[in-house]
Amino acid sequence: MRGRVFKFISGILILLLTGSFSWGKILEVKVRKENFRIVPNGKIIGVLFRGTILEALESKEVKGSGKWYKVKVTGWIWGKSVLSLEEKGEKTSPSPRKEQKEKREIEITSWRWFTRGGNTYVVGIVKNNSSRVRRFLKVAAIFKNEKDEIVDTDYSYIEDIELEPGETSPFKLTIFQVNPEFKKCELKLIEEDIFR
């Protein structure tokens, strides 16, 4: 069934990670494919593939199976494969929002850069703290050497074309080389909303 390939809700996913992460951090699926479950050891609701970027909401130890992460993943599903709760006749109510200080209208909440298999990667999460939809957001990476000189730059758009108020979206930038001069990386968030 096409609609079952992926269900875009927060859920529980076991990840085999090399480092330790706490909630609010970004994770990346490192195995070829992994089941996406509604609860630890529970019903499978989809499959995530290697390279999928996730936002960790919380983690917990489950006796007998180890550490599990509750994650948020963003993506798209074909409209004809889904039915809204209103269409099913079920009542819905908006979920309560936590009040938050708006430091920046749009921000990169977490990110990291690393090398693997001859490539350099930058992965992270962008959040829309503003009260309006933001479109065509891209993240620019600036790599510098020990002398703080720019060695290379590149950019990538975040996964979602539109980012609603309060939503987050992952990004992944790939540079097809490992440069020993890369000593630090700085990020810049750019909005190219031509419809404003």
- Under the banding of pLDDT at 50, 70 and 90, the label for residue 83 is low
Q: Mean pLDDT throughout 9-29?
A: 47
For residues 144 and 29, give the distance between their C-alpha atoms in angstroms, rounded to a whole number.
28
C-beta of residue 12 within 8 angstroms of C-beta of residue 68: yes
pLDDT tens-digit map of 99-113? 444 458 899 988 988
Which tokens sit at 131? 């009260």
Contact partners, residue 18, CB within 8 Å, separation at least 6: 30
pTM, two decimal places: 0.52
CATH code, residues 106-191: 2.60.40.3230
- Under the banding of pLDDT at 50, 70 and 90, the label for residue 96 is very low
- Under the banding of pLDDT at 50, 70 and 90, the label for residue 141 is very high
**What is the per-residue pLDDT for 17?**
33
- Under the banding of pLDDT at 50, 70 and 90, the label for residue 58 is confident
- Under the banding of pLDDT at 50, 70 and 90, the label for residue 185 is very high
Contact partners, residue 14, CB within 8 Å, separation at least 6: 34, 35, 37, 40, 65, 66, 67, 68, 69
- Under the banding of pLDDT at 50, 70 and 90, the label for residue 128 is very high
**What is the per-residue pLDDT for 193?**
65
Domain ranges of the chain: 2-77, 106-191
